[in-house]
Amino acid sequence: MGIRLVVGLGNPGKEYERTRHNAGFWLVERFAQANGIALRKDPKFKALVGKTAGGVWLLQPQTFMNLSGQPVQMLAGFFKLKPEEVLVVHDELDFEPGVARLKQGGGIAGHNGLKDISQRLASHDYWRLRLGVGKPPPGREGADYVLEKPPAEEKSAIDAAIDKALALLPAMLAGDMQGAMNKLHTEEKPPAKKEPEKKTPPVKEPVKKEPERKAAVPAAEAAAKPAETKPEKKGLFGIFGKK
């Protein structure tokens, strides 16, 4: 079963358009622009509404976050859409900027937009595309944090996550949720850096000292050299003479 309604959550008005809470709006707007879809205000549904060439509805509630479920309920009821045919895109405090995750059902983690949608649809079975915006610093309330503009570095990371999600959105609309999840949840790791090979210096073999050789005496010189004579042993008669 494919997706027939994509809901981007956020707050209407210039003062909110760049805040973290409008991450869902950002994705739907970029998808509409990339596909040449006009999002027009429809008073009947209290939302900006558009439609893809394949018949999938795009919805941006204009009732503020706490009442997001009202437009979703009205459009889903009018076109007889089931909760599992609805994909809600929203900001997520539990993930760092740059992370995007897809799931069906589960808890709402204190998100007021999800809370209202679940109550009005009487179901948690709709799909959720969660865009990480990071946790507030210690001592800060989440409600205030999401209504602030993220610094440039965080915004760049959120945009990168939106890019990755948009690349997989056609698969989600076609109903290949498992395939989209597998790719979306796979972290791309940079290739491992190869350490330069350490060249070991060649081992120098100890120089072997050759035994000293005595110079050979030439044969002619040896022949000319008189033979050594042993001293003659003289006895007592040799010393005193013979009598």
Q: What is the mean pLDDT of residues 133-150?
A: 93
CATH number assigned to the domain comprising residue 125: 3.40.50.1470
Q: Any idea what DSSP says for residue 104?
A: E
Question: What's the pLDDT tens digit per position in 66-123?
Answer: 999 999 999 999 999 999 999 999 999 999 999 999 999 998 878 999 999 999 999 9
Is the residue at 227 inside a domain? no
pLDDT of residue 232: 52
Is the residue at 26 inside a domain? yes
Binned at pLDDT 50, 70 and 90, residue 198 comes out as low
Binned at pLDDT 50, 70 and 90, residue 209 comes out as low
Q: Which of 136, 169, 118 is nearest to 20 (CA)?
A: 136
- Beta strands 127-132 and 86-92, pairing class: parallel
Domain that holds residue 157: 5-184
**For the CA atoms of the chain, what is the radius of gyration?**
45
Q: Are 24 and 7 in contact (CB under 8 A)?
A: yes
Q: Which residues are catalytically annotated?
A: 21
**In sequence order, which ranges of 52-193 are alpha helices (DSSP H)?**
69-78, 112-121, 142-145, 152-173, 177-184
- Number of domains composing the chain: 1
Structure tokens at 71: 């437009």
pLDDT of residue 240: 43
Taking each helix axis from N to C end, the angle separating 23-34 and 152-173, rounded to the nearest 10 degrees, works out to 60
pLDDT of residue 207: 61
Binned at pLDDT 50, 70 and 90, residue 203 comes out as low
Question: What's the pLDDT tens digit per position in 143-189?
Answer: 999 999 999 999 999 999 999 999 999 999 999 999 999 999 986 54
Following DSSP, what letter does each residue of 196-216 receive, concatenated?
A: PPPPPPPPPPPPPPPPP-PPP
Mean pLDDT of the chain: 86
Is the residue at 56 inside a domain? yes
Is the residue at 144 inside a domain? yes
Q: Any idea what DSSP says for residue 177?
A: H
pLDDT of residue 1: 73
pLDDT for residue 46 is more than 50 = yes
pLDDT for residue 241 is more than 50 = no
Dihedral angle of Cα 164, 167, 173, 177, to the nearest 10 degrees: -50
pLDDT of residue 197: 61
Q: What is the mean pLDDT of residues 9-21?
A: 97
Is the residue at 39 inside a domain? yes
Residue 41 has φ and ψ, to the nearest 5°, of -70, 125
Q: What is the mean pLDDT of residues 44-73?
A: 97
Q: What is the mean pLDDT of residues 216-222?
A: 53
Is the residue at 98 inside a domain? yes
Q: How many CB atoms lie within 10 A of CB 155?
A: 17
Percent of the chain with pLDDT over 70: 77
Is the residue at 124 inside a domain? yes
Is the residue at 201 inside a domain? no
pLDDT for residue 220 is more than 60 = no
